[in-house]
Amino acid sequence: MDILIRPAEPTDYAPLGDITADAYLNDGLLAFGGEKDWYLAELKDVAKRAETAEVLVATADDHLLGGVTFVPSGSPMAELARPGEAEIRMLAVSHAARGRGVGQALVQACVERATAAGKSLVLCTQPTMRTAHRLYERLGFTRAPERDWHPVPEAPDFTLLTYELTL
């Protein structure tokens, strides 16, 4: 399978939103109520994130397989990135396309963009996202536990783990 990574076009926004929301929903990654979780709407809203960050998609034979958001520091989409860093968010691959290197190709494309911009990379991830953790570690990301954080003040036990890649 030849995987192509390219910037998302407006026609990709709705299907990529569905792939991203389905990945989180079906993998049990929405911590606050599944289909009622407020974050589901954020995951679906690709048009919103494309306004202030770079959304990339993976395709094969013009078939959409997944996507990721490459966020410069200073963007409203940035949760962690400091000056000199870019951030990776909302990585997701459709269930049918998993286990073939699509996720790795999307993250690798972010590494290449960060390298070209002279930035390091940072991302945060849920403790249960173990497939993603292995992928990040294969590409050289390391844990930065001092940057772990709790995004929901009402749920202090909900922790996001931080990974960094110094470039």
Ligand X SMILES: CC(C)(COP(=O)(O)OP(=O)(O)OC[C@H]1O[C@@H](n2cnc3c(N)ncnc32)[C@H](O)[C@@H]1OP(=O)(O)O)[C@@H](O)C(=O)NCCC(=O)NCCS
Residue from 22, 39, 98, 143 in contact with ligand X (CB under 6 A): 98
Say what the alpha-carbon torsion angle 131, 136, 138, 143 is, to the nearest 10 degrees.
-110
Alpha helices in the chain (DSSP H): 10-26, 39-44, 46-52, 102-117, 130-138
The two three-digit tokens of residue 151, written as one number: 């995004």
Establish how many alpha carbons lie within 13 A of residue 162's alpha carbon, considering only the half-sphere containing its beta carbon: 15
Q: Between 118 and 148, name the residue whose CB sits nearer to ligand X.
A: 148
What are the backbone dihedrals phi and psi of residue 40, each rounded to the nearest 5 degrees, phi first?
-60, -40
CB of 20 to ligand X, least distance (A): 8
**Contact between 101 and ligand X per CB under 6 A:** yes
Q: Between 52 and 79, name the residue whose CB sits nearer to ligand X.
A: 79
Interface characters, 2-41, with ligand X (x: CB under 6 A): ---------------------xx--x--------------
CB of 43 to ligand X, least distance (A): 10
**Contact between 78 and ligand X per CB under 6 A:** no
Q: Between 27 and 47, name the residue whose CB sits nearer to ligand X.
A: 27
**Contact between 100 and ligand X per CB under 6 A:** yes
Q: Between 18 and 27, name the residue whose CB sits nearer to ligand X.
A: 27
What b-and-e string marks burial along 110-141, b requiring 16 or more CB atoms within 10 Å of the CB?
Answer: bbebbeeeebbbbbbbbeebeebbebbeeeeb
Q: What is the rounded CA–CA span in Å between residue 3 and residue 73?
A: 28
Which residues are at the interface with ligand X (CB under 6 A)? 23-24, 27, 91-93, 98-104, 125, 129, 131-132, 134-135
